[in-house]
Amino acid sequence: MKYQFFRALLFFSIYWISPLSAQLDTTIEFRTAAFFPTDNLFRHIYGTAGPSFQFEGAYRFCGCYQGWINLDLFTKTGHVKHCGKTTIDIYNMSFGPKYLYPIYNCVDAYGGIGLSLARVHINNHSCGNGKESKLGVGGILKSGINIYLDYNLVLDVFCDYLFQRARFRQNVDVGGFKLGAGIGVRF
């Protein structure tokens, strides 16, 4: 069940983007990042960084603009004082526009903004609370550089900032910075 939601979102995004690829400049990439949460409570329980695995699809429209959709999975185990082990799973889906700025023949810088929807699932293994899941709505700022290694192969180096709140007993910001790289195909 842990990865079924992520798989469904992945299938939906491929299904949504594939008809557009026949007519538009489309990019599909696998990205991985180090996620640095900004919330003090989050960092105290789960640490200052963790891995984030992403799938992103984008299609070009109106010259230098791209519409994009990103699916993201973050999972981490932590420790709560007086409770013991806890696990958090965050399934994000974000989408929006980004602007590509050509720097050189095979290099584009980009900046974008988008809406983010997240399912945050917490499992406290030894506390009485057990499992809790919440839905969060937030925003994302994207920036990065696309390096076209070949016409069909792209390397993406990026820094994203995600603002995402989830309401459990108190508001917890499950957002933060994502620094990473991705490899993708363009067709």
Name the residue among 74, 73, 68 with its Cα closest to residue 56.
Answer: 68
DSSP string, 126-181: SSTT-EEEEEEEEEEEEEEEEEESSSSEEEEEEEEEEEEEEESSSEEE--EEEEEE
Task: Please count the structural domains in the chain.
Answer: 1
User: Mean pLDDT across the chain, nearest whole number?
Assistant: 87
- Whether the Cβ atoms of residue 154 and residue 147 lie closer than 8 Å to each other: yes
pLDDT in tens, 136-170: 899 999 999 999 998 889 999 999 999 988 777 76
CB neighbourhood size of 181 (10 A): 15
Kindly provide the b/e burial profile for residues 151-165, where b requires at least 16 CB atoms within 10 angstroms of the residue's own CB.
Answer: eeebebebebebbbb
Tell me the mean pLDDT in the region 32-58. 94
Distance between CA atoms of residues 52 and 178, nearest Å: 8
The per-residue pLDDT for 167 is 73
Residue 21 has pLDDT above 50, yes or no: no
Question: pLDDT exceeding 70 applies to what percent of the chain?
Answer: 83
User: What pLDDT is attached to residue 81?
Assistant: 78
d(CA 128, CA 124): 8
pLDDT of residue 18: 53
Q: Is the pLDDT of residue 82 over 80?
A: no
Q: Across residues 178-182, what is the average pLDDT?
A: 97
**Residue 116 scores a pLDDT above 70:** yes
Q: What is the mean pLDDT of residues 90-109?
A: 95
Would the pLDDT of 6 be above 70? no
pLDDT at residue 160, as a whole number? 97
Mean pLDDT of the region 24-51:
91
Pairing of strands 65-80, 84-104: antiparallel
Longest dimension (CA), the chain: 58
Q: What is the CATH number of the domain that holds 85?
A: 2.40.160.20
Which residue range is the domain that position 22 belongs to? Answer: 4-186
Range with the poorest average pLDDT among 20-29, 94-103, 119-128: 20-29
Average pLDDT for 103-127: 90
Q: Looking at the chain, which runs of residues are DSSP E strands?
A: 26-37, 50-61, 65-80, 84-104, 107-124, 131-148, 153-167, 171-173, 176-186
